[in-house]
A and B are shown apart, each in its own frame.
Chain A
Amino acid sequence: MSQDDAEFAEFFAASWGPCLRAVAAVTGDMTLAEDQLAEAFARAWACWPKVSHHPAPRAWVVRTALNAGASAWHRRSRETALTSHDIAAADSQGTGLDSAVLTALRHLPARQREVIVLRVFLDLDIDTTARQLGIAPGTVRAHLSRAMTALRGELVPAMTTEIGR
């Protein structure tokens, strides 16, 4: 096994779980997330010398997976503007994907979700998140703030309902 192969194998073993959770949290469909992520890892394998030098390889994989999903969705809906990665959460029940917070996350606009995925799930700092998304750090902060406000707005009624039950 070459050094590149060994490095990729190590990266794949360590990153599959965290990346799959992040993609599934956004898509709401574990099976679909699994397929999109496998595709993303295959692309990473195909250009590993490049991806391995990426400042955040896991972010590269997750974004590629989400983009692949959005692209497939886009192909199915040519007439509809591509604004989100929304996928029917057909198999979300019983997997944890139907938790209130993850359901609320999927109601956010695509960009805000991407910021949450990179900043919160993958724990990238603001500057790295900004570079990943090609936007300014201040814009990342703004998206993050709006996302948190929106999540609070969605979660508070849910929490109130749960308490009142």
Chain B
Amino acid sequence: MSDDERPTDGELTQELRDSLSELAVPERPSLAAIAGRGRVHRRRRRAAFAGLGGATSAVVIALALGLTGVFGTAPGRGSGTVQTADFTLTSYVNGTVALRLGQVFDPAALQRALAQHHIAALVRTDTYCSSNPAVPAPVSRHVLNLPDPGGTRQQRATPPNILLTGNFPVMPSQLAPSVDPVTIVLSPAAMPSGTELFIGNYDLGHTILVSVVHTGSHTCQYSQEPPGAPWDKHSPGRR
């Protein structure tokens, strides 16, 4: 068959679309059925966060103190602020960097922006990167806040949607699907030498995972879900 007889991209595209439009689809389920299933998701999520609230109360207190230090500080003159439609990176004079992330972001652009702020990072979508042996993550050296959808008075008094990581490495952190955007406060100086930040964005579960890996000896694999939720074995309050 000559090249002239081969379908063009346009013809193929049309053929694909035609084939799709010819598919007979069953009637959609009732909205009530979808909402009922959706309520199960909401309940699970709230239950998970309720469990976290009890387990991490000490962390929440530390968080409130930490936030004063971070957000009461003017942005530094170094790298300044990088703002895109998807994320904002702001350097503070105390050396921390606040990263505000929307649900969808360009991993490559974020990785470049972090590099501008002198943060070595791997940013990937649907990919999990880890080191073996893992970078040690002493619980006492990091602070973690997961926003409570219900919120206590104390939590509501703090800026919303903050995950504060005063030290590295941080443990994998699953953020609430309802939290958008989220803000992560990074302390680059606290990163152990020879390591870099890993940020994984997973559409399934609408999760952002933050961890630290060894720069020269990590492996990455395709993964549509982060490996394990923080309220499982990684939860600081349960160690």
Contact = CB atoms under 8 A, between A and B. Distances in A.
B25 A38 contact: no
Contact of B34 (A25, A45, A64): A45
Contact of B6 (A17, A30, A156): A156
Given A42-B37, A64-B204, A34 B20 contact: no
B12 A34 contact: no
Contacts, number: 141
B87 to A, nearest CB: 12
Nearest to B13: A120
Interface in B216-239: 222-225
Interface string A69-99: 0110010000000110000000000011101
Interface string B57-101: 000000000000000000000000000000000000000000000
A21 B25 contact: yes
A134 B106 contact: yes
Contacts of A136: 108
B193 interface: no
Nearest to B222: A82
A41 B23 contact: no
A136 B111 CA distance: 13
Given A50-B178, A54-B104, A67 B19 contact: no
Contact of A121 (B12, B16, B24, B223): B16
Contacts of B7: 152, 155-156
B23 A46 contact: no
B129 to A, nearest CB: 14
Contacts of B206: 43, 47, 50
A101 B1 contact: no
A67 B21 CA distance: 23
B157 interface: no
Interface in A1-17: 9, 12-13, 16-17
A97 B25 CA distance: 11
B1 A133 contact: no
A151 interface: yes
Given A47-B177, A50-B178, A21 B23 contact: yes
A96 B28 CA distance: 18
A63 interface: yes
Q: Which of B20, B125, B177, B201 has the most CB of A within 10 A?
A: B20
Given A70-B224, A96-B22, A121-B20, A12 B108 contact: no
A95 B23 contact: yes
A73 B37 CA distance: 21
B25 A46 contact: no
Interface string A135-165: 1100000000000100110011000100000
A24 interface: yes
Contact of A67 (B24, B177, B203): B203
Interface stretch (B38-46, B134-142, B162-170): B38-46
A67 B12 contact: no
Interface string A35-52: 000110111111101100
A118 interface: no
Contacts of B223: 82
A19 to B, nearest CB: 10
22 contacts: A9-B31, A20-B25, A21-B23, A38-B33, A39-B37, A46-B38, A47-B41, A49-B178, A53-B180, A54-B103, A55-B104, A63-B203, A64-B203, A67-B204, A71-B204, A131-B104, A131-B106, A134-B125, A148-B12, A148-B13, A151-B16, A152-B6
Given A42-B37, A96-B24, 12 more contacts: A20-B25, A22-B20, A39-B37, A46-B41, A47-B41, A49-B178, A68-B204, A102-B16, A120-B16, A134-B107, A134-B124, A155-B7
